[in-house]
Amino acid sequence: MSTPTGSAPSHPHDRPTRTRYWVIVFAVTLAVIQYIDRVAISQAMPDIAAEMKFTDAQKGMIFSAFTLAYALFEIPTGWMGDKLGAKSVLIRVVLWWSFFTAATGWAWNYVSMLVTRFLFGAGEAGCFPNLTKALSTWLPKVDRTRAQSLMWMGARWGGASAPLLVVLVMTLVSWRAAFVVFALLGVIWAIVFAKWYRDNPKDHPKVNAAELELLKENAANASGHGNVPWRELATRPTMWLLWGQYFFLSYGWYFFVTWLPTYLRDERGLEIKSNVVMKWLAAVLEGWFSPELTLKILAAALSGTPLLFGGFGALLAGQVSSRIIARGGSVTRVRRTFGFVGLAGAASLLMASFYIRDPLLAMIAMGMAGFFNDLTLPGSWATCMDVGGKYAGTVSGSMNMMGNFGGMAGPIVVGWVLTLTNRDWQQVFVVTSIIYSLGAFCWLFIDPVTPLEKEEGKVMN
């Protein structure tokens, strides 16, 4: 075995270095930044809409412009990572979306905002497929589900912090300047990542021979290639089911990061202080802030609940499933169980949250819907890694593409339903719960372990 560039020869009995775990740190950090940049607009939208006179339908289209681009560019950016390596693609897309995060604050009308959010989505599309590509290269299989759970925990907690972060930043600067502040986070990440990361672990000076031995099964994943078995990808039933469940999951989940702040303000705004705990918190905050800002802070904190709980769901699913599998449990059975229970639970709890009148208890129920939603995530993305192999970037990109078509449809449908029903939020919750249930059904039949290629260079028939 070759010795990593710049490192001293390792004795066969040396303990493996732990350089690989820094890739998880980079993944989690970028996931946090990506979700802060993505979710910020949902909290800022009431102020944006008031300034630019956007209708509900226009707000839905702006939310969906991002997800349309995000979906369309998933496969191209995932394929680019497979062909060119994750490093160059990640640096490019992070700098791209950071620019258009700042540009969101420069928009002057509906069309300019629509175009900016579309271009922003085109950049963010490359994030998770290429992080998945990096993890499939740098981590042994036993660590992959756990790594995905940590990455998605970071993503959700970044999204959970975004509403409150936006409100607090907007107390100091305008909503326009706030987007410039958030853009700087991605620029800093890209600079540090460019200096540290290597597409192939053997090229990193901090990796010793013992750690390379742990990663030898990933050697094919590190090489660049573009010969994706598209026919196998497009004709395998499991891929369609995997795409379907992620479409349905994302349709439901995007409610939390687009329309939820509006729902809380319009439907629940007068009720937020009716809960004893919330009333006490309001009294404390009003010692520092105005009643109007206090209400915004409480609403922002509540709107982050589904993502906060979702982070715990992703973490729990990754840790528990990894331990069960390590003890000999069936990978297929474990992933199907978490997928089905997760989406079925999200459907039930989301609907229940609408009928619970106490605002804090209602948001706990909605938070638990987010928790169950994210029980599905580690298994979904680990499936892309196991099924995709050296094509993990393309496979995960295809799944995320379908998911974001669902994410694109969700905000538009909510806008239409509100318009057609004279803002009847109950119908929004009914439709979303049904969609979640369809995703649960898909998981009963997914084969999460059989790869596109049984062995190097041989595509399955």
* Tens digits of residue pLDDT in 300-312: 777 778 888 998 9
For residue 355, tell me if it sits in a domain.
Answer: yes
DSSP conformation class of 454: E
What CATH number is given to the structural domain containing 197? 1.20.1250.20
5 belongs to a structural domain: no
- Residue 365: the pLDDT is 94
Domain annotation covers residue 176: yes
- Asked if residue 3 has pLDDT above 50, the reply is no
Q: Is the dihedral of CA 280, 283, 289, 290 positive or negative?
A: positive
pTM: 0.75
The per-residue pLDDT for 326 is 83
Distance CA 424, CA 151 (A): 36
Contacts of residue 60, Cβ cutoff 8 Å, sequence gap at least 6 = 258, 411, 412, 414, 415, 416
Residue 191 belongs to some domain of the structure: yes
**pLDDT tens digits for 221-230?**
666 555 778 8
Calculate mean pLDDT across residues 373-389: 89
- What is the tens place of the pLDDT at every residue in 57-104? 788 788 888 878 988 898 888 888 888 888 999 999 999 999 999 999
| pLDDT tens column, 194-222 | 999 988 888 888 888 888 887 777 666 66
Q: Could you give the number of structural domains in the chain?
A: 1
Burial pattern 281-319, b for ≥16 Cβ within 10 A else e, equals bbeebeeebeeebbbbbbbbbbbbbbbbbbbbbbbbbbe
Q: Domain containing 412: what range? A: 20-222+233-455
Q: Would you say residue 15 lies in a domain? A: no
- The yes-or-no verdict on residue 5 having pLDDT over 50 is no
Task: State the average pLDDT for the chain.
Answer: 84
**What value does the mean pLDDT take over residues 354-359?**
85
Predicted pLDDT of residue 459: 38
Domain annotation covers residue 10? no
Question: Rounded to 5 degrees, what are φ and ψ at 358?
Answer: -65, 120
Residue 227 lies in a domain: no
Residue of 73, 390, 388 lying closest to 224 (CA atoms): 390
228 falls within a domain: no
